[in-house]
């Protein structure tokens, strides 16, 4: 029952905070207007700027920000105990992450849908803008290169997921055609689409697809190439062709997966089979870094993640059709992700105790199952270990509903792989926007065309992915930097939001300013500790890149603080141009 009380309390808390804090921020802090014409309407082009129903854009936005983030982070951070992980997810998502995502979204909407790195020049200065571009490019470069490998690893671990993940592409294209070209209703058709996709989910265990090596390239490398080609195509297509309809299907998939997890937790909880087997707090796990500050770096998506500001100001700001919809999309999506991360914590803190099979084939239950999987930081590290903890724990809970475990494993594997795919092509599209904005400012207009910019985005990621060989795992060399880079970006985005709100007068800036200070301290602290660790390991590559990141981040923080104290109330109000109907 303890697990059920935690789950219910968290979910009720998210609903209450959306109604109280979220609506307060929307109406009183950002003063959302129904009459302001958003970029999706003002600059509609049918490719990137497309006014979209809030339910559809919610699905796109959520699946883009989620990916495997709210799964991987909590699944490793649980090693410090379920209580610190749960508290950070709840508090972080409500007062930091949701403010960060929503703030980046609405400011972008008030600046023609430009990315946060681009509109930084308006609210701070042009110097900071180029430094911001550097951080953003590095983050997206790693994300695009690594997520091809992530999906390849998932396909290798769960070959029963491959057919359903790929069949979703033609299903989504068909859905987009019927909705946007033929004017059919999206809700009914999307239900048929998800049912068709789930047919292949249940066929998956009978038709597992295992990629062989091709021309000496191992399976992970082959999948990485295929996925990068897919990312290029998905990025240059109009959002209504593939991106929106596929993400709307994925939003239904999310509802189904979360519903199954909740129902499974209820059945297992009331039957007495679901108990917390992870410790509440474990401050010093074997060979693990310090919980402070690394808990706040390890759990990003689910609490606060800098990547979200890129989605908010990269793709979503070009599609939200009304300012008032931005609260549901920006703030609401982050709380939904917090709810998902809460379920992940329950799955790896309790669900795994219902049955865990070791590599030696031994089946363990209870505390023994958890302690075996999380025996040390090294044992729990690695993508496969993190995903296995979540998928197996979730499958155990869903299995109590009478669904055979082979199907529950397929359901959760498809869920994880589908969300990772969304992150891959959304990151590629955002990188294209970022490069186009940068090339425009440098007057290199011949590089701004969408095919050219996308080719640069994908090509540079491919170089990184295959830098160490044909496996496509080259980005793993830079992966140790990602957590600090991502959370540094979150801190920098909050600084920009703070300066923007300072210009609107009063103490409105505090809703972003306090989180900005917290995140700046945590991330710079972690980056410095990483620098020491990289030095002890004699890793000159990571040392060199990490010191550049520290210098750039500190520079932007200083520039932001200086601009904050220079900014007078209502200064930026005069600069904004709000078009009304």
The verdict on residue 488 lying in a domain is: no
Q: How far is CA 490 from the centre of its chain?
A: 12
Contact between 409 and 158 under an 8 Å Cβ cutoff? The reply is yes
Report pTM.
Answer: 0.91
The verdict on residue 469 lying in a domain is: yes
Is 483 a residue whose pLDDT tops 70? Answer: yes
Contact between 11 and 90 under an 8 Å Cβ cutoff? The reply is no
Query: Rounded to whole angstroms, how far apart are CA atoms 335 and 260?
Result: 19
What is the crossing angle of helices 54-66 and 333-349, to 10°?
40
At residue 381, the pLDDT reads 60
Domain count, the chain: 1
Q: How confident is the model at residue 45 (pLDDT cuts 50, 70, 90)?
A: very high
Is 581 a residue whose pLDDT tops 80? Answer: no
DSSP for 286-329, please give it: TTPPPHHHHHHHH--TTT--HHHHHHHHHTGGGTB-STTHHIII
Is 374 a residue whose pLDDT tops 90? Answer: no
Return the SS3 of 505.
coil
The verdict on residue 580 lying in a domain is: no
The H-or-E segment that residue 128 falls in is helix 126-157
**In the predicted model, what is the mean pLDDT of residues 337-363?**
89
The verdict on residue 558 lying in a domain is: no
pLDDT per residue as tens digits for the range 486-533:
999 999 999 999 999 999 988 999 999 999 999 999 999 999 999 999
For CA atoms 46, 453, 134, 64, give the dihedral sign: positive
Q: What is the Cβ-side half-sphere exposure of residue 120, based on CA atoms within 13 angstroms?
A: 30
Is 580 a residue whose pLDDT tops 60? Answer: no
pLDDT per residue as tens digits for the range 399-446:
999 999 889 889 988 988 998 888 898 899 999 998 998 898 888 888
**In the predicted model, what is the mean pLDDT of residues 550-578?**
76
250-270 as b/e, with b when 16 or more CB fall inside 10 Å?
bbbbbeebbebbbebbbbbbe
The verdict on residue 528 lying in a domain is: no
pLDDT per residue as tens digits for the range 231-271:
999 999 998 999 889 988 988 898 899 999 999 999 998 98
pLDDT per residue as tens digits for the range 162-177:
999 999 999 999 999 9
Is 455 a residue whose pLDDT tops 90? Answer: yes
117: left (phi over 0), alpha (psi -120 to 50) or beta: alpha
Contact partners, residue 428, CB within 8 Å, separation at least 6: 144, 231, 232, 234, 235, 454, 457, 458, 461
Contact between 301 and 341 under an 8 Å Cβ cutoff? The reply is yes
pLDDT per residue as tens digits for the range 7-44:
999 999 999 999 999 999 999 999 999 999 999 999 99
Give whole-number Cα distances, 380 to 285, 303, 346, 412, 490, in Å: 11, 21, 17, 20, 26
- Are β-strands 356-357 and 363-364 bridged in parallel, bridged antiparallel, or unpaired? antiparallel
Report CA dihedral (4, 7, 10, 11) to the nearest 10 degrees. Answer: -110
pLDDT per residue as tens digits for the range 141-152:
999 998 888 899
For the chain, what is the mean pLDDT? 90
**In the predicted model, what is the mean pLDDT of residues 96-117?**
95
Quick one: what percent of the chain has pLDDT higher than 90? 64
Contact partners, residue 244, CB within 8 Å, separation at least 6: 50, 52, 56, 57, 59, 60, 176, 319
pLDDT per residue as tens digits for the range 51-81:
999 988 998 899 888 877 788 889 889 999 9
Domain encompassing residue 357:
2-480
The verdict on residue 541 lying in a domain is: no
Length of the chain: 581
Q: How confident is the model at residue 579 (pLDDT cuts 50, 70, 90)?
A: very low
The verdict on residue 534 lying in a domain is: no
Q: How confident is the model at residue 121 (pLDDT cuts 50, 70, 90)?
A: confident
The verdict on residue 132 lying in a domain is: yes
């Amino acid at each position: 029952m303890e697990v059920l009380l935690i789950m219910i309390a968290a979910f009720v808390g998210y609903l209450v905070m959306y109604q109280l804090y979220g609506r307060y921020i929307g109406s009183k802090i950002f003063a959302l207007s129904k009459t302001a014409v958003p970029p999706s309407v003002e600059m509609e082009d049918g490719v990137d700027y497309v006014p979209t129903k809030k339910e559809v854009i919610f699905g796109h936005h959520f699946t883009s920000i989620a990916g495997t983030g709210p799964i991987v982070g909590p699944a490793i951070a649980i090693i410090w105990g379920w209580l610190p992980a749960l508290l950070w997810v709840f508090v972080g998502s409500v007062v930091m992450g949701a403010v960060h995502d929503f703030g980046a979204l609405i400011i972008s909407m008030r600046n023609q849908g430009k990315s946060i790195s681009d509109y930084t020049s308006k609210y701070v200065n042009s110097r900071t803008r180029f430094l911001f571009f550097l951080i953003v490019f590095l983050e997206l470069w790693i994300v695009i290169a690594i997520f091809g490998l992530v999906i390849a690893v998932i396909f290798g671990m769960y070959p029963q997921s491959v057919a359903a993940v790929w069949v979703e592409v033609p299903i989504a294209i068909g859905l987009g055609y019927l909705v946007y070209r033929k004017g059919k209703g999206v809700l009914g058709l999307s239900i048929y689409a998800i049912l068709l996709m789930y047919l292949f989910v249940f066929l998956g265990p009978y038709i597992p697809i295992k990629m062989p090596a091709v021309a000496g390239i191992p399976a992970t490398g082959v999948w990485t190439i295929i996925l990068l080609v897919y990312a290029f195509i998905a990025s240059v297509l109009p959002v209504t062709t593939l991106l929106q309809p596929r993400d709307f299907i994925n939003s239904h998939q999310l509802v189904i997966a979360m519903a199954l997890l909740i129902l499974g937790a209820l059945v297992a909880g009331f039957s007495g089979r679901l108990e917390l087997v992870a410790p509440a707090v474990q401050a010093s796990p074997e060979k693990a870094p310090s919980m402070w500050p690394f808990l706040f770096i390890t759990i990003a998506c689910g609490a606060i993640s800098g990547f979200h500001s890129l989605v908010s100001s990269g793709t979503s700001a070009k599609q939200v059709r009304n300012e008032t919809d931005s609260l549901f999309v920006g703030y609401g999506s982050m709380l939904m992700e917090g709810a998902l991360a809460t379920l992940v914590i329950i799955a790896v803190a309790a669900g795994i105790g219902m049955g865990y099979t070791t590599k030696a084939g031994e089946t363990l239950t209870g505390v023994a199952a958890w302690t075996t999987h999380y025996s040390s930081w090294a044992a729990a590290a690695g993508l496969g270990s993190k995903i296995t903890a979540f998928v197996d724990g979730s499958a155990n809970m869903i299995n109590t509903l009478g669904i055979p475990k082979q199907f529950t494993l397929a359901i959760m594997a498809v869920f994880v792989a589908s969300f990772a795919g969304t992150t891959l092509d959304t990151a590629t599209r955002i990188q294209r926007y970022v490069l186009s904005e940068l090339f425009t400012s440098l007057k290199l207009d011949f590089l701004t065309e969408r095919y050219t910019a996308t080719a640069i985005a994908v090509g540079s990621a491919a170089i990184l992915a295959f830098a160490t060989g044909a496996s496509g795992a080259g980005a793993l060399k830079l992966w140790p930097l990602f957590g600090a880079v991502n959370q540094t970006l979150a801190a920098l985005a909050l600084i920009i939001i703070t300066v923007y709100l300072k210009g609107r007068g009063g103490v409105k800036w505090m809703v972003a300013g306090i989180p900005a200070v917290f995140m700046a301290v945590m991330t710079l602290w972690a980056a410095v500790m990483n620098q020491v660790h990289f030095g002890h390991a004699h890793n000159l590559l990571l040392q060199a890149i990490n010191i550049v990141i520290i210098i750039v981040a500190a520079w932007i923080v200083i520039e932001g603080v200086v601009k904050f104290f220079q900014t007078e109330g209502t200064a930026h109000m005069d600069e904004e141009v709000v078009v009304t109907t």
